[in-house]
């Protein structure tokens, strides 16, 4: 292990419940018998649906634990739509934001129409925004894209109205509209961040940082649970990466993306996973070797799978059967064999 002496284990459990209980038992043993403190332990899980059962299992054993899934502020559709509008305002070539907004309000997300647009962009090497402008101007003809163009006009109209707002203080209510009450977490977060921002670009950067990075106090005394994204810059003697299953690490590809975009997204997820492996840092001087543990489940309930964004390939009586992440198999020949938990 490059980050000091230590141990690596790959453990597969029968179910998500077993995985949560197994991790909690392992953490309890580290604290009670091996000299580690709760703050020495960092648990990374890409979804709250994976992290929450682990949190409950740990707190059920009276182990001090803190969850850092702050992205709850953008959990609701209204917040996601507002964030996509802001992203597209700053960068019209943000393909993900444009795709989301073009599909917004449609039961099928305008999937077929967008596929025609995407195929055109792949052949011509034109950005989707530019292709939509050509469609709107009728310089480009693609069959069955009328509703896509109508939606694009709505998006353009709003962006034009927002660009016309000169005062940043006036921009906030114009952008937020009247979709959020005073107690809404997203509205509260925006108003708080806006105090330090001077432009929409500043606000977007602050928002992305706020929902991506944990606010870790310097005197943390708990086991920490968060996503791989939020572990940026952190290190710990013990790192557990949970939920290492296909459909979560990596996520299933978006069918609307081109093969090149799918490969780029896969590579980014692979990079994120391997960066997560480097979060472990031994503290040999304190008698704390580095501990890295990768865990997965063979099954989970259909409800948990759907909440995790996993598209199940096999469902039997409400139970989804899972495969270990390909990333685990790519760790290398020096990796230990998988053991059953």
The domain that contains 232 carries what CATH number? 3.40.50.300
DSSP assignment string, 181-233: -TT-HHHHHHHHHHTT-SSHHHHHHHHHHHHHS----TT--SEEEE-TGGGTT
Report the CATH number that the domain containing residue 85 is assigned in CATH: 1.10.486
Are 46 and 93 in the same domain?
no
pTM over 0.85: no
Question: Looking at the domain assignment, is residue 1 inside a domain?
Answer: no
pLDDT tens per residue across span 188-244: 889 989 999 999 999 999 888 777 655 555 568 899 999 888 887 888 999 999 999
Least confident interval from 41-45, 92-96, 217-221, 294-298: 217-221
Question: Looking at the domain assignment, is residue 266 inside a domain?
Answer: yes
Are 158 and 113 in the same domain?
yes
- Rounded Cα distance between 91 and 203, Å, is 14
pLDDT at 336 over 60: yes
Are 179 and 193 in the same domain?
yes
Which range of residues forms the domain containing residue 265? 6-68+215-340
Q: How confident is the model at residue 257 (pLDDT cuts 50, 70, 90)?
A: confident
Q: How confident is the model at residue 1 (pLDDT cuts 50, 70, 90)?
A: very low
Identify the CA nearest to 45 among candidates 308, 312, 337, 331. 308
Which residue is associated with the tokens 């998006």? 155
pLDDT at 311 over 60: yes
pLDDT of 75 reads: 64
Are 201 and 297 in the same domain?
no
Of the residues 212, 240, 264, the one at which a domain ends: 212
| Percent share of the chain, pLDDT over 90 | 59
Of the residues 184, 212, 240, the one at which a domain ends: 212
- The encoded tokens of residue 117 equal 């647009």
Are 208 and 332 in the same domain?
no
Are 299 and 332 in the same domain?
yes
Are 310 and 331 in the same domain?
yes
Q: How many CA atoms lie within 13 A of 42 on its CB side?
A: 28
pLDDT of 70 reads: 58
pLDDT of 214 reads: 55
Of the residues 212, 231, 260, the one at which a domain ends: 212
- The encoded tokens of residue 278 equal 């480097």
Q: How confident is the model at residue 34 (pLDDT cuts 50, 70, 90)?
A: very high
Q: How confident is the model at residue 4 (pLDDT cuts 50, 70, 90)?
A: low
Are 22 and 85 in the same domain?
no
């Amino acid at each position: 292990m490059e980050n000091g002496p230590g141990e690596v284990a790959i453990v597969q459990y029968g179910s998500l419940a077993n995985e949560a209980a197994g991790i909690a038992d392992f953490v309890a043993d580290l604290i009670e018998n091996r000299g580690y403190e709760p703050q020495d332990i960092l648990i990374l899980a890409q979804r709250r649906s994976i992290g929450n059962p682990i949190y409950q299992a740990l707190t059920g054993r009276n182990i001090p634990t803190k969850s850092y899934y702050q992205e709850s502020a953008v959990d609701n559709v209204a917040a996601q739509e507002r964030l996509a509008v802001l992203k597209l305002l700053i960068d019209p070539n943000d393909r993900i934001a444009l795709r989301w907004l073009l599909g917004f309000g449609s039961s099928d997300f305008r999937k077929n129409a967008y596929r025609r647009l995407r195929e055109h962009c792949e052949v011509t090497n034109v950005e989707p925004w530019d292709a939509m402008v050509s469609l709107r101007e009728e310089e480009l003809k693609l069959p069955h894209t009328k509703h896509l163009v109508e939606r694009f006009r709505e998006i353009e109209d709003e962006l034009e109205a927002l660009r016309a707002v000169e005062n940043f203080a006036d921009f906030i209510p114009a952008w937020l509209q009247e979709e959020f009450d005073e107690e809404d977490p997203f509205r509260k977060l925006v108003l708080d961040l806006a105090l330090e921002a001077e432009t929409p670009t500043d606000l977007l950067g602050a928002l992305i940082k706020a929902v991506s990075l944990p606010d870790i106090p310097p005197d943390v005394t708990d086991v920490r649970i968060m996503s791989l994204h939020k572990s940026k810059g952190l290190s710990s003697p013990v790192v557990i990466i949970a939920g290492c299953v296909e459909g979560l690490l990596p996520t299933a590809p978006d069918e609307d993306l081109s093969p090149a975009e799918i490969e780029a997204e896969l590579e980014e997820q692979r990079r994120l996973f391997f960066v997560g492996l480097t979060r472990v840092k031994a503290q040999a001087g304190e008698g704390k070797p580095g501990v890295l543990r990768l865990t997965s489940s063979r099954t989970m309930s259909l409800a948990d799978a759907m909440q995790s964004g996993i598209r199940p390939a096999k469902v039997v009586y409400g139970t989804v059967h899972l495969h270990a992440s390909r990333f685990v198999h790519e760790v290398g020949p020096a990796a230990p064999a998988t053991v059953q938990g």
